[in-house]
A and B are shown apart, each in its own frame.
Chain A
């Protein structure tokens, strides 16, 4: 059991509580992504797991052992930083071997381990260079190598790809996923990039203002967001929110946005209980379909992106974005008819923002 567990962790700075009662269980071999906007506390959680920041209350367990009071090097973890944090005066070889040297491993063993890591990450030709002679991507490989060489129970990644350009970031993402599949070690990964979260994670924890909003598989976080914050943070373009209420529409249910109705096809039957009460409809752009049986809408703007196009529409008194294929042409100011896929939409309580369907 090489997982991580946070039990009732609290964090306060100078008497100000920024994080309250964080409970989190990370299974052995999981790839857990802490996702949230800047200032949400994701890096603080990572630093507390690493032991770089003390907890104010609660306890942290790594691999079944309580580590709350232990120093970072006693916790059986390794960390990769956004800035790579390689020792500038040491060669790549010494950078990777430094942690082992500090643990008093014999020189010959260190050499052997460093060579193995060099081969694994394909950086053998770089081993005798200085970090300043490497590109950003190469430096990141070295930083990952420095973490791997220690063979810890848990790997911690603090926004490791943010400093790379888009192309390299995509490549490194694939490599990280492969590495995780091959090694099967527990990874805790902090990012504000939802694409990284969706592609890499086995479990995503969405954070806001120091508390956990939702902890679930990437699919569930996307399809069944627990509240409006999660719904709006995950997904691009962002989810459409319309305030209104559900009304009876013949045999089915429609959504009344105040100045017009939207038919909600195949809404689950338990939504009937909500008829009449105020709700916030949350529909992702791909939940809006152009259909001749739908409600009247006006095209405001079409944005082709290549594989898709995003169409801004005015419907039922609100502005929404629909995602559709690139084939159809939309001109601003023309009329369209729109239908909403009731099976996939979310309904939120307008007061608390919590999902009610």
Chain B
């Protein structure tokens, strides 16, 4: 018994260590000045911890970075926010309404639409990259924030629609009938009955979509252009385009800055997220 306990905690400890070790290295390296990095072990704690690297990663030092990307990650952080907020609300909102329409109303071509959604969920984005580029170019919004938002919405809406459709399918038919007799049409039924029911799923969809869009690199790189460069792309530029000695402390700080928003969203919404999943949100 005692041995089992010990083995259990031992295993858990090892697993935690394996996951936390890189995080520890990142945090500790980001707090070290370059001399310490050069001379010491990567596992060593910083002797004189300072936030200089963080400051530089955030607001930048023009003498250190290649032309055009002056100002650290702060400006691309704002760009990311400008991309995520409309893309998040549009993809989740459209998904909720479309999923509701598919689940609660009889529509012609609903089966075809459903098949299209499945394809949309499982096809890798790389496959449709080129046609999407042409489409966005023809719309005249290639290389801009609206263009990138559109692409994110197109990619997100299949997934969010599926989530909401599957949830709304579990709503009892009698409830829909009762609402029809009470005189609730398409929008009142959605707004007063279905949407309040779907709050846990709404939460999960928001969190997942936020994560996907914030962490996206490929679409941002392809569709963002100069003005719509999200934080992930800027991070890649920052890490990959320095002259001279590699500033590991700045790279680590920049990487953590980029990952921080999604981390914060998960930590702040942890309980809601678990409840949403338990409510049957993410099936299959």
Interfacial residues, chain A to chain B (CB-CB below 8 A): 47, 50, 52, 71-73, 77-79, 81-90, 98-99, 102-103, 146
Contacts and interface: CB of A to CB of B under 8 A. Distances in A.
Contacts of B184: 98, 102
Contacts of B175: 85, 87
Nearest to A82: B174
B196 interface: yes
Contacts of A77: 181
Given A71-B180, A102-B182, A85 B193 contact: no
B182 A85 contact: no
B192 to A, nearest CB: 7
Interface residues of B, number: 16
Interface of B: 172, 174-175, 177-184, 188, 192-193, 196-197
The interface centre, meaning the residue of B174, B180, B183, B184 with most chain A CB atoms within 10 A of its CB, is B183
A89 B196 contact: yes
Q: Decide if the interface of chain B is mainly helix, strand, loop or mixed.
A: helix
Contacts of B196: 89-90
B183 A102 contact: yes
A32 B177 CA distance: 22
Given A87-B193, A88-B197, A89-B197, A72 B174 contact: no
A143 B37 CA distance: 71
A73 B184 CA distance: 8
Nearest to A71: B180
A162 to B, nearest CB: 12
A98 B175 CA distance: 13
A79 B183 contact: no
A47 B176 CA distance: 13
14 contacts: A47-B177, A50-B181, A72-B177, A72-B180, A72-B181, A81-B178, A83-B172, A83-B174, A85-B172, A85-B174, A88-B197, A90-B192, A102-B182, A102-B188
Contacts of A71: 180
Given A79-B181, A85-B177, A88-B197, 6 more contacts: A47-B177, A85-B175, A99-B182, A99-B183, A102-B182, A103-B183
A103 B182 CA distance: 8
B145 to A, nearest CB: 36
The interface centre, meaning the residue of B172, B182, B188, B196 with most chain A CB atoms within 10 A of its CB, is B182
The interface centre, meaning the residue of B181, B183, B184 with most chain A CB atoms within 10 A of its CB, is B181
Nearest to B198: A89
Instruction: Pick the 4 closest A-B CB pairs, nearest first.
Output: A73-B183, A99-B182, A89-B196, A85-B174
B243 to A, nearest CB: 59
B133 to A, nearest CB: 43
The interface centre, meaning the residue of A77, A78, A79, A82 with most chain B CB atoms within 10 A of its CB, is A79
A79 B93 CA distance: 32
A102 B192 CA distance: 10
A73 B178 CA distance: 10
A99 B181 contact: yes
A98 B180 contact: no
The interface centre, meaning the residue of A50, A102, A103, A146 with most chain B CB atoms within 10 A of its CB, is A102
A73 B182 CA distance: 6
Contacts of A85: 172, 174-175, 177-178
A71 B174 CA distance: 16
Nearest to A53: B177
Given A98-B184, A102-B183, A103-B183, A79 B197 contact: no
B174 A81 contact: yes
Nearest to A73: B183
A273 B223 CA distance: 95
Contacts of A146: 178, 182
